Amino acid sequence: MLAPELVEAFRREISGATSVLIGTHLNPDGDALGCALGMAYFLGQEGIAHEVVCHHAPPFNLQFLPGVGKIRQTPSRKHDLGIIVDLDSLERLGSLAPNFAELPRLVVIDHHVPHEAPGDVRIVDTHAPATAVIIARLFEAMDVEMTPEMATCLLTGVVTDTGSFRFRNTTAEALSVAARLVEAGGNINRISEEVFQRKPLSSARLLGYLLERMTLEIDDRLCYGVLDFQDFLHTGAEDVDTEGFVNELLSIRTVEIAAIFREPKPGRVRVSLRSRGDHDVAAVAREIGGGGHKNAAGCSFEAEIEEALELVLPRLRACLASS
């Protein structure tokens, strides 16, 4: 349930706006783009002018999203309201941060643990399994007519953020919202196939490298792997092709904390962290300038892989020992 005051505040913001700029985070995932496009369909239905922007182009496996062609990398005109979805800091907007910072009003809809807390109206629930679930609640509270396109967009957010209803955030609400979205015409078969069953060959080869060379420590409870720039060059894979790799490491029966260190471009290291149960990898990520959820977090920095390993691994060992 959403607090009625928040629903009212949201209604007031959109009815006072002439034109809305919708944005989401760098390296957008299914929840990010599904929410941004679902919001765009809603504003279109209300006759409110809008544009959708994202720093990065949609990844290959999200090209099927209805309305994906509307996503621009820079706004084409002025707006007076911003709506940002699935992120909690303007920095995560990348090159678009200044465009949103200068808007007179900003609405934030999100499920991450806030650390910057920007925005005039904040519809944030850190317990929501996906931002798409919060938007579905909002639309239901507003009696929005849910079209099949909107439903497919929001359902993509729920399916991807819950790992196809396998992760711990798969709550009764995630399932009941998903059921209502399927009823409204959300195409769950298409989503599952496009998102999870169309990886490029280069991605499968890169996963092979990772699995062959992974390191296990502390009675096989900590698992990590490195993919350096040479690996990306040899396979022709890109960083988006590593989506889900860290979960492969966490899926090993004994593993409680998993990490991958990637260097898709020389000198820049991206780290993905996953954990089971009480191990809080978001706390580890925050210590080194990243963020995320308790069981799924990440960070990136300018460094050599060796330096990144030295920075992160002792913290992961400590995290495993303390929880």
Q: In terms of CB distance, is 31 or 256 closer to Mn ion? A: 31
Residue nearest to Mn ion (CB): 31
Nearer to Mn ion, 161 or 263 (CB): 161
# binding residues, Mn ion (CB under 5 A): 4
Per CB under 5 A, the list member of 13, 51, 86, 243 interacting with Mn ion is 86
Q: Which stretch binds Mn ion (CB under 5 A): 1-9, 18-26, 82-90, 182-190?
A: 82-90
Residue 111 vs 270, nearer CB to Mn ion: 111
User: Could you give the string, one character per residue 123-162, with x where binding to Mn ion holds by CB under 5 A and - elsewhere?
Assistant: --------x-----------------------------x-
Element (H, E) at 99: helix 97-101
How near is the Cβ of 287 to Mn ion at its closest, in Å?
22
Q: How far is the CB of 124 from Mn ion (least distance, A)?
A: 12
Eight-class DSSP state of 252? S
Near Mn ion in 278-297, by CB under 5 A: none
Backbone angles phi, psi at 103, to 5 degrees: -75, 145
Q: For the CB of residue 284, give the shortest distance to Mn ion in the complex, in Å.
A: 20
State the Cα–Cα distance between residues 204 and 14, nearest whole angstrom: 44
Task: Provide the token pair at 144.
Answer: 């929005």
- The answer to the question of residue 110 lying near Mn ion (CB under 5 A) is no
CB of 154 to Mn ion, least distance (A): 12
CA–CA separation, 220 and 306 (whole Å): 21
Which amino acid, 161?
D
- Residues in region 155-194 near Mn ion by CB under 5 A: 161
Interatomic CA distance for residues 221 and 49, integer angstroms: 51
DSSP lists the bridge partners of residue 84 as 23, 108
| Minimum CB–partner distance for residue 86 and Mn ion (Å) | 4
CA 213 to each of CA 39, 260, 271, 320: distance values in angstroms, whole numbers, following the listed order? 42, 11, 16, 22
Single out the residue of 14, 24, 31, 320 in contact with Mn ion (rule: CB under 5 A). Answer: 31
Is residue 28 within 8 A of residue 62, CB to CB? The reply is yes
Cα atoms in the Cβ-side hemisphere of radius 13 Å centred on 131: 31
Question: Which residue lies nearer to Mn ion by CB, 25 or 221?
Answer: 25
Shortest Å distance, C-beta 108 to Mn ion:
13
Strand partners for 300: 270
Phi/psi of residue 244, each to 5°?
A: 90, -10
Provide, rounded to whole angstroms, the least separation between the CB of residue 203 and Mn ion. Answer: 22
Minimal distance, residue 31 CB to Mn ion, in Å: 3
Which residues is 226 bridged to in the sheet?
261
d(CA 5, CA 7): 5
> Which residues contact Mn ion (rule: CB under 5 A)?
31, 86, 131, 161
